[in-house]
Amino acid sequence: MVNVVFLHPDLGIGGAERLVVDAALALRSKGCKVQIWTAHYEHDHCFSETKDPDLPIVCVGDWLPTSICGYFHALCAYIRMVYVALFLIFFSGVEFDVVFCDQVSACIPVIRLTRRKKKVLFYCHFPDQLLTARSSFLKRLYRAPIDRLEEATTGMADCVVVNSQFTAGVFKHTFKSLSSVHTDVLYPSLNFSTFDTEPAELDGLIPTEKSFVFLSINRYERKKNLALALEALKDLQGRLSGDEWKKVHLVMAGGYDERVPENVDHYKELKDLSTKLGLSDSVSFLRSFSDKQKISLLHHCTCVLYTPSNEHFGIVPVEAMYMRCPVIAVNSGGPLESIADGETGFLCDPQPACFAEAMEKFVKDPGQRQGMGEAGRERVLKRFSLDAFSEQLYQYICKLTE
């Protein structure tokens, strides 16, 4: 039996966390023994599968700061993950053959300190250095050694896997010294059984008189460009008759963590924008929704609005398409690979008018949802099944342990 340990910074409810949980479950289904080690885990802010006693979650180092006076988030994340790796190797007594790590590569040199060399698979969602702005000289000075450390330690992995062809290209362009490193694409997958459950009632989330429900699912972060959904809704209002507009509603559902100031601030910003645009009666906001709520929303909504630009992959469009829900997304990044434009949804420029034009089509022609929904379902079954994901990942593990 192959023992695999997963190292992940914060096991919450984001896309990266969904990938880690699915990967652990996939390897467990192949007969591997798996554990997930993390620096932060909350039982009431996690995916339901992590509550399974057969999927051990080990949390160490949560006493370490996540920032210093609101700054140095990256440095603290690196320190926390190095601590997790040190604890795993020197104090846990856990035997393992392969480490699957993602997001923070700084823990890889620590894993090399074991007496018997362990294999490391690094899953690159996106280069970390591209996820932050460098608006000042001090910020550039601070990030320079962290960026070099990220590149050097990523190259220490025995196997590097990325989540899309888009990310593979960005990886090569960003990490110049790793041009010889081969990167395979392992698309995130869906555990179909999770979405095949009977959808629950919406419990008043959507007014009963609303026939056209648009849904935005993303963390409350500014880089997700959630304001685009609100601005597109306002543009759509001007394209519809009064009777049509009365039937339209938007649900803004997002991952929300009170420990993260940006989540708190941006949620308020979006609420204020909704009021400013005069959309308060046509928009519902939902924070840190449950899996059951997400399934129910996807089942009942007309279309999903996916607003980030240059998204690394984006699991939400895949989830939506499996639930036979078309997707309107920005025409860049991962959605170019997951969505078939004009067949399973629409790929648009990140402009309110462009999104509103696509949204209008579903209002004017309600039957379009069914046709696109069926096409989306078929696309996911062919390209993003958990079986295909599990087999490909297991083959990587087998090659590493030969």
CB of 373 closer than 8 Å to CB of 325: yes
DSSP state of 240: S
pLDDT value at residue 178: 95
The CA-based diameter of the chain, rounded to the nearest angstrom, is: 72
pLDDT at 173: 94
Q: Could you tell me the pTM of the whole model?
A: 0.81
Q: What is the pLDDT of residues 224-282, one digit of tens each?
A: 999 999 999 999 999 999 999 999 999 999 888 888 888 999 999 999 999 999 999 99
Could you read off the pLDDT of 23-61 as tens digits, one per residue?
999 999 999 999 999 999 998 888 889 998 899 999 999
DSSP string for residues in 170-237: HHHHH-GGGTT--EEE----B-HHHHSSPPPP-TTSS-TT--EEEEEE--S-GGG-THHHHHHHHHHH
What distance in Å separates the CA atoms of residue 336 and residue 37, rounded to the nearest whole number? 33
Query: Which residue do the tokens 């938007």 mark?
Result: 250
pLDDT for position 398: 96
- Give the pLDDT means over successive 10-residue stretches in the chain (402 positions): 96 90 95 96 89 93 93 94 96 94 95 88 93 86 94 96 94 94 92 82 76 94 95 96 94 87 92 95 88 88 95 92 96 94 96 97 94 96 91 96 90
What whole-number distance in Å separates Cα of residue 322 and Cα of residue 190? 9
Domains of the chain: 3-189+385-401 (3.40.50.2000), 193-382 (3.40.50.2000)
pLDDT confidence of residue 196: 86
Yes or no: say if 191 and 390 are a contact pair by the CB < 8 Å rule: no
